[in-house]
Amino acid sequence: MEEKMKEVSVLDLLLKPELPDVRKVLPEKSFKVDRLSELAGRDVVFRLRGLSYKQVRKTQEKSVDERSLDIVLEGCVEPDFHDKRLLCPDKGIATPLDAISARLTSGEIDELSVEIQKLSGYLRKTLSEVKNG
């Protein structure tokens, strides 16, 4: 006698304890910043984390000019650009956003922003169509 496979609903799958709460557990990846690595004479590796839905909405409220900077500020785990040691008001580095733009090139900022957006589920395909579904 063949046992029928119990059909599992999408709700059942979403209720599995193995599924993380993405408000708290977001994907992370590390990236070497080549220019800084060359200057430092050793690997300079940034650890990036995806943004929560709430964080994404907050960054979208920013002006287009500040959006990439804000994404890097919120999505960069290491180094922590909120660290006050990066500030130097005498040199015009009064905010964490200043600290980012003073130490990274515009291309590096944009590339880091793109990687954080990918970790957040943007700029990549996250859905696939189900035929006859």
Residue 125's pLDDT band (cuts 50, 70, 90):
confident
The residues, any chain, with a CB within 8 Å of residue 8's CB and separated by 6 or more, are none
Residue 29's pLDDT band (cuts 50, 70, 90):
very high
Asked if the model's pLDDT at residue 5 lies above 70, the reply is no
Q: Which residues of 15-44 are buried (b: 16+ CB within 10 A; e: fewer)?
A: eeeeeeeeeeebeeeebebeebeeeeeeeb
Domains in the chain: boundaries: 24-119
Separation of alpha carbons 113 and 75, rounded Å: 8
The pTM is what? Answer: 0.86
Separation of alpha carbons 55 and 73, rounded Å: 11
Q: 24-119: which CATH architecture? A: 2-Layer Sandwich (3.30)
Interval 58-90: pLDDT, tens: 999 988 889 999 999 999 999 999 999 999 999
